[in-house]
Amino acid sequence: MKRKGAILLVAALAAVALVAQEKKESAKKAAAAGILHPEMTVETGTWEKPSAVIGTRPANGHVWTDTTVAAGVDKKPEPGHPITRVGEIIDLSCYVQLGKHGEKHRSCGQKCVQNGQPIGLLTQDGSIYMIMPEEHDPRRDGGVDAKAFASEHMGHIVEVNGTTANVAGYRAIYVQGLTK
């Protein structure tokens, strides 16, 4: 009986050590990838298994909704491409200014996005995308809003689908269906 107990204890200690090593390796990868303050860890979702899926990839070559096309200069919005990215939902202002993200920053980030700060997606390689509702008129007129999903998933790793647009090094993912 003592031998079985010792074996179970050794197995439990090995499992704890393995989990700690995996977290350490994940933090090292994040640091090498360019994520600011990788010690500020994410507890919900992983790069391999995101905690949620936000939006759908545009289909049939229609990357922009009708309201966006109609609002474009000469009814031609800037080029966009379907995109899927996995990353951590961040409050852009605190991340860019202070390097804050992860579970320890969750409540602050929630308050920031609820009060109008921009929403971002931080990918494993350190790239940042601004997250915006896609539909132009509903966005302009207050019919869509990204605050609720951003607040719910702040500091979590999620999959985001939508249309990407890039201008002068600035990247955004426009997500359809973020209705109030």
Residue-wise pLDDT for 62-71, tens only, equals: 899 999 999 9
- Find, among 141, 127, 60, the residue nearest to 95 by Cα: 127
112 Cβ partners below 8 Å, 6+ apart? 91, 93, 94
What residues contact residue 71 under an 8 Å CB cut-off, 6+ apart? 77, 136, 137, 140
Closest CA to 128 of 98, 162, 83, 173: 173
pLDDT at 4 over 80: no
Q: CB–CB of 127/100 below 8 Å?
A: no
For the entire predicted model, the pTM comes to 0.80
**pLDDT (tens digit per residue) in 72-119:** 999 999 999 999 999 999 999 999 999 999 999 999 999 999 999 999
